[in-house]
A and B are shown apart, each in its own frame.
Chain A
Amino acid sequence: MSNNIPENLKYTKDHEWVLESKGTVTVGVTAYAVEQLGDIVHIELPEIGAELDEGDPFGTIESTKTVSDLYMPVGGEVIEINDGLESSPESLQESSYGDGWIVKIKSNKAASNLMTATEYQSFISE
């Protein structure tokens, strides 16, 4: 199992990880979620400049079997997308917390309802 949950990140109930740094929020999908999905074969990313609210779907991640929506962990403007994922979605599996980052958001307020690594660990163990 993916026991290696980075301590420096925060987590959502939708299995996204969040890194906040000076108003910029980097979002990815946890290794645990990626493992549950299986082989990732396609990813759809938002447009740069899209302004979205917390909880809005901003993209989809598709495995051989399923389609899952990605949700904004915090409201704001999409300022960067990892468009390399469109041609090599397997980066999500190989480096969920590194090269597999998905979007960067300029947030309009601080994210709420995020879990710490320890909390996320117990959330997925339930």
Chain B
Amino acid sequence: MQTTVIEPFYPKLKTKLVDFAGWKMPVWFTSTLDEHKFVRSSCGVFDVSHMGRIILSGSNVVDFLENLLPSNISEINIGASKYTALLNKSGGIIDDLIIYRLKDLSYMLCVNASNAENVLSWINQQENASEIQIKNLSTTYAQLAVQGPTSLEHIQKILPSFRPIHFGEISSHNVDEGTCYVARTGYTGEHGYEIYTPNSHGIKIWGQLLNNGVHPCGLGARDTLRLEAGYSLYGSELNTERNIFESGIGWISKTKTQPHIGMIEKENQKSKIRAFTMVDSGIPRSGMSVIIGDEPVGIVTSGGRLPSLEKNGGLLFFENGAPKVGTEIFIDIRGKRKLAIIQKKPLYSNRIQ
């Protein structure tokens, strides 16, 4: 199993580690519910150095990316980013990712740890891959997500040259160890930042953040936070069997007119993903059936406790068209029909963003 460069510096007392996509990762450092609350009310830090980070550059990089991705790449300004996805030829989703434009002809892709190898090999398989430079930062750069309402002050404490940026922007900073990038992106639905920085600097600022009272958070809280914020998770809402439109992320392709890999007809495509909360007691889990009347009509793609709502709920996929907000449905929880209701997505929203 691989470990991140930050792992030796995890607090040890109550930390629970698990195998996640071949990485030894923390589920929690103290408690998922506490960590969730820290991020919603003050600030938490996640070690996400297991994520794949790939820099693509060269004079033909924009054309290459326009063909590779379903989003309009030419409209990304220097220092900006876009959430997008990598598609196979039939439009199935290989991975979802964030693309940052670091410089004029240099883009960084941040991809899921579980898909990092597939993504690299897919990129390398492309006809004109030899014309672009592909640099894998995954083992040389740490990635820390600093998330929560007080995250800005914590970023400024560890990086005095940092000036506020807008949501989705990324700025670069010279540190003794090399170039550090700070992006205002995240997976929690809170005001927050993701820091991409050379390993040795990552280790240093991890220690500083913890000393400054930022709470270390694990994958458990990362999942409850993203679920409330309505973000999709690869392997749950997103997979190679579904296209971006039915997966509820068709908007990533809204301004794209150029042909690209996996391009499909946009007409009559509707999201089959809906958010829901439980009315009856019980915790929905992924894979459970959704029932309307007596008919199974879909499945729970992600489910669990939603700590900020003090409810249970999650996200659903409907095989043939999704019902409206307010529709009553049943979730089959281990053989018992439990009442639930379709809700607006996101389930939780913090207006700071």
Contacts and interface: CB of A to CB of B under 8 A. Distances in A.
B88 interface: no
Interface stretch (A7-15, A25-33, A39-47): A39-47
The dominant DSSP class at the B interface is: mixed
Contact of B220 (A35, A38, A60): A38
Interface in A46-94: 60, 62, 64-65, 67, 86
Contact of B27 (A38, A41, A42): A38
Contacts of B312: 41-42
A41 B305 contact: yes
A35 B16 CA distance: 10
Contacts of B27: 38, 65
Contact of B281 (A38, A42, A67): A42
B50 interface: no
Interface stretch (B28-36, B185-193, B269-277): B28-36
A38 B282 contact: no
A62 B282 CA distance: 9
Nearest to B27: A65
B342 to A, nearest CB: 21
B159 interface: no
Size category of the A interface is 10 to 19
B220 A65 contact: yes
Nearest to B14: A35
B154 interface: no
B305 to A, nearest CB: 4
Contacts of A64: 32-33, 220, 224, 304-305
Interface string B235-256: 0000000000000000000000
B32 A86 contact: no
Nearest to B304: A64
Nearest to B18: A65
A67 B334 CA distance: 11
B188 to A, nearest CB: 15
Interface string B204-227: 000000000000000010001000
Interface of A: 35-36, 38-39, 41-42, 44, 60, 62, 64-65, 67, 86
29 contacts: A35-B14, A38-B16, A38-B27, A38-B28, A38-B31, A38-B220, A39-B31, A39-B32, A39-B33, A39-B305, A41-B33, A41-B283, A41-B305, A41-B312, A42-B281, A42-B282, A42-B305, A42-B312, A44-B282, A60-B334, A64-B32, A64-B224, A64-B304, A64-B305, A65-B32, A65-B304, A67-B283, A67-B285, A86-B281
Interface of B: 14, 16, 27-28, 31-33, 220, 224, 281-283, 285, 304-305, 312, 334
Given A65-B32, A65-B220, A67-B285, 5 more contacts: A35-B14, A41-B304, A42-B281, A42-B305, A64-B32
